[in-house]
Chains A and B, each alone.
Chain A
Amino acid sequence: MNKRRPYVRPMDGWWRRNPFFIEYMVHEGTALFVAAYAGILLNGLLHLSRGEAAWNVWLDGLKNPWYIGFHLLALVAISYHTYTWFKIMPRTMPPVIVGGKRLADGAITGGGLAVAAAASLVLLAAVWGMAR
C-alpha cells in the first residue's frame, strides 16, 4: 500500500504570518477609501444634476465633522496608496534602460512620486485658476 499522504497546511490567517503580508493587506485596504470617496463624489454629481438647491445640500453636508474626519483618513490612506503604487512600480513595469544600464528601483519610485507631486500641484493651480 502507498504510504504517501502529503499534508496540505491551511492558509487561514496567512496575512498575519509575515510583516510583508501585513503591509500588503494594509495597502490593498486603501481601496475601501478610494471606493468610499468615489461614492461621495458620485453622490455630489447626482445632487449637481438636480439643481442648485440640491447641490448646496450636498456641499453643506461636507462640513459635517464626520465627513471632515473621513476625508482626513482618506487623505492619509490614498496618500499611502500613492506611495505603495510607485514603490511596487519597479516590479510591475518593463525595465527602463538608460545609457545601457537598467534604471534603479529607487529612481523609478522617486520619479513616479515626483510626477504625482507635480500633477497634484498642476491640479491645485488649475482649480485655483478656474475658481477665480
Chain B
Amino acid sequence: MSENQRTIEIEVLRYHPEKDQVPYQQVFQVPFTDDMSVLQGVQYIKDYLDGSLSFRWSCRMAICGSCGMMINGEPHLSCETFLRDYYPARVRVEALAHFPIERDLVINMEGFIAKLESIQPYIIPKEERTLAQGEYLQTPEQLKVYEQFSSCINCMLCYAACPQFGLNPEFIGPGAMALLHRYNVDSRDGGKAERMELVSSEEGVFHCTAVGYCSEVCPKHVDPANAVNQNKTNAAADYFLRFLAPKGGAK
C-alpha cells in the first residue's frame, strides 16, 4: 500500500443467529488509502481481521445492487462510498434498515422478492404478435415516459429509507412500485388493469406518506416517490370513477 496510508475505525453491527440473541457493535482498526471504498474496508476486515464477517457484494461498480448498507445511518451502496470522506471519524456500518438481519450485514430479502414477483415485472403484451408481424415498435417519446423507472437495480436502499415500510412490512414499497409503474406506462404493455388491483389494495400505495427520502437515496436517480404518488392519483381516480367506466375499461 502507498505511503499515505492511514488507519480508520470501522464499527460493524454483528449478528450471528446461532450464538447472538441480539446484534452488537464491534470496532475494527482498518488501514486504508484514499481510493478505498467502505466495501473494501469491510473486505479488509474479512480478509485480515475476522473471517466470520458476512456481507453481500459483487460488481464493485454500483450496478449489481448487492452491497447496500447503512453507513453512518444512511443507506448507501458501500462500493461507491469512500472511507476518506469519513476519516478521521469512525464510520458506522450496519445492515440495511427495516429488513430483518439474516447475519451481520446480510439482510433477509424474501419479502422484497415476493413483492417483486407480485407486480409482474415484465411486459404483458397488449396484442400478441406473430414473428412474421415483426417487433413491438416504440418511439423515443414513448421510451422517455418510463425510462428513468427502468434504471432500478433492486438494491433496496429505498426500502431502507422508507419508514412506512419499516413500520409496516406489508407495504409494497418504493422500489417495487417504481418497477410496477415502469411497466404500466410502457406503450407495449397491456397489464395495467391487473397491476392496479395491487396498487389500490390495502398493501398498496396508500401507506406512503410522501416522506420522499426514497428518491433522495436512490443511487440510480430513479424517483420511486413519484411512481408511488402518481399511482395514488391513479388509484383514487379508479376508486371514484370505477362506477362510471365499465370494469376493466379504466385506463
Evaluate contact between A24 and B166: CB separation under 8 angstroms.
no
Write out, one digit per residue, whether chain B residues 136-179 have a CB within 8 A of any chain A CB (1) or not (0).
00000100000000000000000000010011000000000000
Please determine whether A21 and B108 come into contact, CB atoms closer than 8 angstroms: no
Q: Which residues of chain A from 15 to 31 have any CB-CB distance to chain B below 8 Å in the complex? A: 15, 17-18, 20-21, 24, 28
In the bound assembly, the distance between CA atoms of A127 and B232 in angstroms comes to 36
Closest chain-B Cβ to A10's Cβ sits at a distance in Å of: 10
Whose C-beta in chain B lies nearest to the C-beta of A24? B211
User: Is B101 within 8 A of A91, CB to CB?
Assistant: no
Q: Mark B4-38, 1 if CB is under 8 A from A, else 0.
A: 00000000000101100011000000000000000
Contacts of B210 in A (CB 8 A): 88, 91-92
A93 to B233, CA, bound (A): 8
> Contact at B97–A6, with CB atoms within 8 Å?
no
A95 to B146, CA, bound (A): 11
- A88 vs B226: C-alpha distance in the bound complex, in angstroms? 10
Contact of A91 among B98, B102, B229, B233 (CB under 8 A): B229
Contact B17 A15 (CB under 8 A): no
Is B230 positioned at the interface, with any CB of A under 8 Å from its CB? yes
Q: Are A91 and B74 in contact (CB under 8 A)?
A: no
- B73 CB–A CB distance under 8 Å: yes
A128 CB–B CB distance under 8 Å: no
CB of B166 within 8 A of CB of A11, answer yes
Number of chain A interface residues as a range: 20 to 34
Considering the chains assembled together, what is the distance between the CA atoms of A20 and B215 in angstroms?
12
A66 within 8 A of B: no
Q: C-beta contact mask, A75-93 vs B, less than 8 Å → 1, else 0?
A: 0000000000000101111
From A15, A17, A92, A100, name the one whose CB has the most chain B CB atoms within 10 angstroms. A92
Q: Is the CB of B225 within 8 A of A91?
A: yes
> CB-defined interface of B207-233 with A at 8 Å, one 1/0 digit per residue?
001111101100000010110011011
| B74 pairs with A18, CB closer than 8 A | yes
Q: By CB atoms of chain A within 10 A, which of B17, B210, B215 has the most? A: B210
**Contact digits for A81-116, partner B, Cβ 8 Å, 1 yes 0 no:** 000000010111111000010000000000000000
Which residues on B sit within 8 Å (CB–CB) of A7? Answer: 15, 17, 22-23, 100-101
- Whether A21 pairs with B101 at a CB distance below 8 angstroms is no
A35 and B210 CA atoms in complex are apart in Å by 20
User: Bound state CA distance, A24 and B212, in angstroms?
Assistant: 9
Q: Does A9 contact B (CB under 8 A)?
A: yes
CB neighbours (8 Å) of B223 from chain A are 91
Q: Are B229 and A93 in contact, CB atoms less than 8 angstroms apart?
A: yes
B163's partner among A11, A88, A95 (CB-CB below 8 A) is A11
A90 to B223, CA, bound (A): 10
- Within 8 Å of chain B (Cβ to Cβ): is A131? no
Give the B-binding residues of A (Cβ under 8 A).
Answer: 3-9, 11, 14-15, 17-18, 20-21, 24, 28, 88, 90-95, 100
* Additional A-B contact list (11), CB under 8 Å, known A18-B213, A24-B213: A3-B17, A6-B108, A7-B23, A14-B163, A14-B166, A14-B167, A21-B211, A88-B210, A91-B212, A91-B229, A92-B225
8 A-B contacts (beta carbon < 8 Å): A4-B17, A7-B17, A14-B167, A20-B216, A21-B163, A24-B211, A88-B212, A91-B229
Which 10 A-B pairs give the minimum distances between C-beta atoms? Answer: A6-B100, A5-B17, A91-B225, A92-B229, A7-B101, A6-B108, A3-B18, A8-B100, A20-B213, A91-B212
